[in-house]
């Protein structure tokens, strides 16, 4: 079961260019350049449709040295990993309030932006939690405002066949998901992980 409000999945790689090349080799689909973030990361994108996509994110090889506060903590990442996902609610601020009323705090909504290769500025708002976690099975919330959704900009595409999570305490995860009004299949396992099965020109490919 994939939530119909799925906005994107986040696949983090320790070396961006190498990770993108490996993804293209596995799937037969070459991701499109996304852009650079002020926090020291950059991304490539592959669409699932007009309203959802896969983001491949890694350290920006052209980032200026100095203190950074990237949205994704890639400092300890040693291999590619599906680390989180995002949903786009009808009303981001209302969803934050309702989640907090039900015992889950998704974090405050913060403005972010990135530049596309042609110099256009994309701006959006999303929720952010500062507690460290290598994998976040509870999605963050995003609102693109007046910005054209990245998936609607002619991205190369593949299919999303399945998306689910493994958690040592499924009931606890389901409570947090419920507080956000989000749907996700959850099974019990020793470690927290996310799994996506992609329908590609080279056959099914699993990301974890």
Q: What pLDDT score was predicted for residue 68?
A: 52
pLDDT value, residue 28: 98
The alpha carbon of 23 is separated from its chain's Cα centroid by a whole number of angstroms, namely: 16
The token duo for 184 is 């996700």
CATH entry, 6-207, from 3.10.180.10, 3.40.50.300, 3.90.1150.10, 3.30.70.3280: 3.10.180.10
In 76-181, alpha helices (H): 92-101, 170-180
Along the chain (208 residues), what's the average pLDDT of each consecutive run of 10 residues? 89 96 98 86 94 95 62 80 96 97 95 81 89 89 92 94 97 97 96 97 98
- Which whole-number Å values give the CA distances from 124 to 13, 17, 69, in the listed order? 23, 25, 17
Contacts (Cβ under 8 Å, ≥6 apart) of 64: none
pTM, two decimals, is 0.93
The pLDDT score that the predictor gives to residue 113 is: 82
How is the chain split into domains, by residue range?
6-207
């Amino acid at each position: 079961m994939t939530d119909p409000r799925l906005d994107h999945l986040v696949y983090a790689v320790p070396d961006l260019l190498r990770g993108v090349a490996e993804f293209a080799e596995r799937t037969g689909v070459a991701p499109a350049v996304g852009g650079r973030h002020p926090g020291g990361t950059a991304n490539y994108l592959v669409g699932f449709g007009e309203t959802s996509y896969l983001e491949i994110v890694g350290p920006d090889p052209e980032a200026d040295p100095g203190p950074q506060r990237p949205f994704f903590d890639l400092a300890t990442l040693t291999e590619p990993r599906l680390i989180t996902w995002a949903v786009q609610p009808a009303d981001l601020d209302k969803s934050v309030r309702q989640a907090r009323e039900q015992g889950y705090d998704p974090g405050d909504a913060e403005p972010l932006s990135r530049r596309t290769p042609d110099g256009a500025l994309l701006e959006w708002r999303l929720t952010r939690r500062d507690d460290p976690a290598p994998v976040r099975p509870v999605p963050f919330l995003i609102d693109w405002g007046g910005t054209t959704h990245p998936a609607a900009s002619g991205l190369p595409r593949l299919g999303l066949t399945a998306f689910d999570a493994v958690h040592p305490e499924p009931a606890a995860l389901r409570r947090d998901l419920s507080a956000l009004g989000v749907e996700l299949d959850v099974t019990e396992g020793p470690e927290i992980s996310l799994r996506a099965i992609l329908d590609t020109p080279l056959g099914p490919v699993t990301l974890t």
